[in-house]
Amino acid sequence: MSTSRTTPQAGGTDTVVMVGGQDWDQVVTAAAEAQPGERIVVNMGPQHPSTHGVLRLILEIEGETITEARCGIGYLHTGIEKNLEYRTWAQGVTFVTRMDYLSPFFNETVYCLGVEKLLGVTNAIPERASVIRVMMMELNRISSHLVAIATGGMELGAMSAMFYGFREREQILSVFETITGLRMNHAYIRPGGLVADLPDEAIPQLRDLLKLLPKRLRDLENLLTENDIWKARTQGIGYLDLAGCMALGVTGPVLRSTGLAHDLRRAQPYCGYENYDFDVITDHGHDAYGRYLIRVKEMRESIKIVEQCLDRLQPGPVMIADKKLAWPADLSLGPDGLGNSPEHIAKIMGHSMEGLIHHFKLVTEGIRVPPGQVYVAVESPRGELGAHIVSDGGTRPYRVHYRDPSFTNLQAVAAMCEGAMIADAISAVASIDPVMGGVDR
């Protein structure tokens, strides 16, 4: 309801209008006058499989055309970044690995690189540990890209792509399980190196995998690359040029599909990437099809890198030599799983009181990291994955914040989808390949 009052003023009158709520009729009328025509708001997700789990797309449409697109996030919020403030530096690895759950080794590596930089021990990391880190990340890149192509194919009706992609991913996860004991959320990379060395059966299993993968990737390419339906659904869809990527901070395959060869493995090498031979894959399509091609070719480059890692592996330690920083473990595989070897337990429990005290303090209290802050970034399957880590000199992080590429890249949804058809929004979002575990940290 609204009321008006006329108040005499010097030289004239002044009208005051008071609005008391419930004036919905006037609001609706004003909205209709401002934007004439039929406007429908469609909520796509968060349950829809095409929205990658728990992403909600709010689409305003006229007919089949999207006039406005917005992202609703937060449905998977885990509070991992806040939880890190209440855990030791070593315990933090078990949290960050769960952020982008399709590329856990990248989450672990960037966190450990940041902690090692604060400690000033970057150059003291054993060569074997760095080579294994690269090897695990590149295998992880392949498995992540396989999921992107498999789920993207399923969302557009290509069920065979789903079967092929997950079939190959299973082979890689089996290797991860052999090496770390887990298929996902490994917590295998630790500040200072690795939890444990490669088991004896890992190398033969890896070589068998490298023989199998090229043929299996050809099956996927033969199914999709020249498929007329696939090309019709992806070529020219989800268009985003270089200016748009720069304005929005978009990285990864979406950025490289504009022709810019930006890859942190080349631009800011880490873990010895400057010593590996590989190509930075680009495309000039600016569209979903170009991003698909980039992922397929990047998987082949990752195979090349893993082969080089196997050739570079030399006997040696996988944890830093400084016993004040190194995780105090000598792990072996027993009947109850991976744990401290009986020899290590016998030593610290029966032969060395100093060793037992040291083990107890490092495990319960944790290492102390000098005060300071650092930003470290790696090239994840989705783009620049950065970690801003702040230490106050204690045994726990003061603050850890991740620059997750999925979160940044989702800003491009509006630019890619507005003016396109509803069905094309599926292709566009799939080509971004967002993982909401990284978005809703």
For the chain, the domains span: 80-325+367-439
Pairwise CA distance, residues 152 & 149, whole Å? 5
238, 424 Cβ separation under 8 angstroms: yes
- Non-local (6+) Cβ contacts of 373 within 8 A are 118, 388, 389, 390, 391
Q: Which of the 8 DSSP states describes residue 199?
A: P
pLDDT value for 317 = 87
206, 306 Cβ separation under 8 angstroms: yes
Q: pTM to 2 decimals? A: 0.84
294, 281 Cβ separation under 8 angstroms: yes
pLDDT value for 113 = 94
* Chain Cα centroid distance, residue 403: 10
Vertex 197 angle, CA 191 and 200, to 5°:
165
Per-residue pLDDT of the chain (441 residues; tens, 9 = 90+): 333 343 444 455 554 444 455 565 665 566 566 555 567 787 877 654 555 668 888 888 887 888 888 888 888 888 899 999 999 998 899 999 988 889 999 999 999 999 999 999 889 899 999 999 999 999 999 999 999 999 888 888 888 888 888 889 999 999 999 888 888 888 899 998 888 888 888 899 999 999 999 998 898 888 888 888 988 888 888 888 999 999 999 999 999 999 889 999 999 999 989 999 999 999 898 889 999 999 999 999 999 999 999 999 999 888 888 878 887 766 666 776 667 777 777 777 777 777 777 778 788 888 888 999 999 999 999 999 999 999 998 889 999 999 999 999 999 888 888 888 888 888 888 888 888 888 888
Alpha helices in 72-158 (DSSP H): 80-83, 92-96, 104-119, 127-155
Cα separation values, 131 from 71, 134, 136, Å = 39, 5, 9
pLDDT value for 3 = 39
Cα separation values, 45 from 49, 425, 430, Å = 8, 12, 14
Q: Which two tokens stand for residue 316?
A: 């040696």
Q: Which helix (H) or strand (E) holds 40?
A: strand 40-44
Q: How far apart are the first and last CA of the chain?
A: 44
pLDDT value for 53 = 62
Neighbouring C-alpha atoms within 13 Å toward the C-beta of 24? 1
Phi, psi for 326 (deg, rounded to 5): -70, 140
Q: Are strands 56-62 and 40-44 parallel, antiparallel or unpaired?
A: antiparallel
Vertex 108 angle, CA 103 and 109, to 5°:
100
| Lookup result for tokens 């850890």 | 400
- Non-local (6+) Cβ contacts of 355 within 8 A are 347, 348
* Chain Cα centroid distance, residue 80: 14
Q: Strand, helix or coil at 298? A: helix
Phi, psi for 210 (deg, rounded to 5): -70, -25
Q: Which two tokens stand for residue 24?
A: 């919905």
Q: Strand, helix or coil at 436? A: helix
80-325+367-439 CATH fold: Cytochrome-c3 Hydrogenase; chain B (1.10.645)
CB atoms under 10 Å from CB of 212, counted, come to 12
